[in-house]
Amino acid sequence: MINWQNFQENFDTIAVPAKTVLLNEGAVAQRIYFIKKGCLRLWFNNDGKDVTFQFFFENQSVASIESFRNHIPSQFSIETLEPCVLLSVTKERFYAILDKSTALRKEMEDYSFDRLLSYQYLFLSRIKDSPQKRYEQLLKEHPEIFQRVPQHYIASYLGITSVSLSRIRNRKV
Amino acid sequence: MINWQNFQENFDTIAVPAKTVLLNEGAVAQRIYFIKKGCLRLWFNNDGKDVTFQFFFENQSVASIESFRNHIPSQFSIETLEPCVLLSVTKERFYAILDKSTALRKEMEDYSFDRLLSYQYLFLSRIKDSPQKRYEQLLKEHPEIFQRVPQHYIASYLGITSVSLSRIRNRKV
DNA sequence: TGAATTTCTTAACAATTGTTATCGCTTCCA
DNA sequence: TGGAAGCGATAACAATTGTTAAGAAATTCA
CATH code of the domain containing B47: 2.60.120.10
Closest CA to B49 of B166, B157, B167, B165: B157
How confident is the model at residue B3, as a pLDDT? 62
Overall domain count for chain B: 1
Residue among B46, B108, B116, B122 with most chain A CBs within 10 A, to mutate: B116
Does residue A35 sit within a domain?
yes
Does residue A52 sit within a domain?
yes
Distance separating alpha carbons of residues B173 and B160, to the nearest angstrom: 20
Q: What is the domain extent for residue A46? A: 4-100
Does residue B40 sit within a domain?
yes
Does residue B140 sit within a domain?
no
The spacing between the Cα labelled CA in A160 and the C1' in C30, in angstroms, equals: 35
Does residue A116 sit within a domain?
no
User: Which of A46, A49, A116 is the closest to B116 by Cβ?
Assistant: A116
How confident is the model at residue B99, as a pLDDT? 86
DSSP A60: -
Does residue B153 sit within a domain?
no
Q: What is the mean pLDDT of residues A99-104?
A: 82
Does residue B141 sit within a domain?
no
Residue A1 has pLDDT above 60, yes or no: no
Q: What is the mean pLDDT of residues B97-114?
A: 81
User: Which of B51, B112, B126 is the closest to A116 by Cβ?
Assistant: B112
Tell me, yes or no, if B126 comes closer than 8 A to chain A by beta carbon. yes
The mean-pLDDT minimum among A93-97, B7-11, B53-57 falls in B7-11
Residue A42 has pLDDT above 90, yes or no: yes
The spacing between the Cα labelled CA in A171 and the C1' in D15, in angstroms, equals: 22
Of residues A114 and A148, more confidence is placed in A148
CB of residue A167 closer than 7 A to nucleic acid strand D?
Answer: yes
The spacing between the Cα labelled CA in B151 and the C1' in D13, in angstroms, equals: 33
Work out the mean pLDDT of chain B and round it to a whole number.
Answer: 88
Q: Rounded to whole angstroms, what are the CA distances from B9 to B6, B13, B34?
A: 8, 10, 13
Does residue B146 sit within a domain?
no
User: Which of B65, B113, B159 is the closest to A112 by Cβ?
Assistant: B113
Closest CA to A20 of A78, A65, A59: A78
Q: What is the mean pLDDT of residues A91-109?
A: 85
Residue B100 has pLDDT above 60, yes or no: yes
Q: What is the mean pLDDT of residues B99-121?
A: 81
As a residue count, chain A comes to 173
What is the tens place of the pLDDT at every residue in A44-86?
988 778 899 899 999 888 999 889 989 999 999 999 999 999 9
Closest CA to A157 of A129, A130, A135, A136: A135
- How does DSSP assign B65-133, residue by residue? HHHHHH--B-S-EEEESS-EEEEEEEHHHHHHHHHH-HHHHHHHHHHHHHHHHHHHHHHHHHHH--HHH
Residue A128 has pLDDT above 60, yes or no: yes
